[in-house]
Amino acid sequence: MTVAPVEYMVLAFPEHNFTGKIAPALHDLVESNTIRVLDLVFIIKNEDGDVDFYEFDELDDFAAFAHIDGEIGGLIGDEDIEYVSDALEPNSSVVLLVWEDVWAAPLFSALFEAGGVLVEGGRIPHDLIEPALSGLAAVG
């Protein structure tokens, strides 16, 4: 079995404005076989700077995530949580998400069968790519 690229995201919710509205979108990505969720942790920093973290099934606030198929658990460790929480502002929360890009598995299988290797990859931040794409659309 070819493992497709694995990525992570830290999705921030200042002032704990987390409503669970991302759960249906995440569910759709899983159901369409676009991604496979490998781990998902909610990290909360209170106004005093104390940090707690939870798996999706530990609090009622995260119940919307219970219907998402995946092999959730085990990849995000204490060091990852500490790293993310150090940068987290007091009175805010984040979702730390790790997933496999299932859509890319056929491409990577073909790459490996051809003797190729992935040399580098990256994610262009939204605040950089959006203006660049808008500029291209204006020219075209």
Domain layout of the chain by residue ranges: 6-105
User: Is the model's pLDDT at 67 over the cut of 70?
Assistant: no
User: Is the model's pLDDT at 140 over the cut of 60?
Assistant: no
The model's pTM is 0.80
User: Per-residue pLDDT tens for 12-59?
Assistant: 888 877 777 888 888 899 999 999 988 888 899 999 999 999 876 666
Q: What string of H, E and C letters represents the secondary structure of 93-126?
A: EEEEEEEECHHHHHHHHHHHHCCCCCCCCCCCCH
Question: Do 38 and 72 form a contact (C-beta atoms < 8 A)?
Answer: yes
Question: Which of 28, 88, 20, 100 lies closest to 60 in space, CA to CA?
Answer: 20
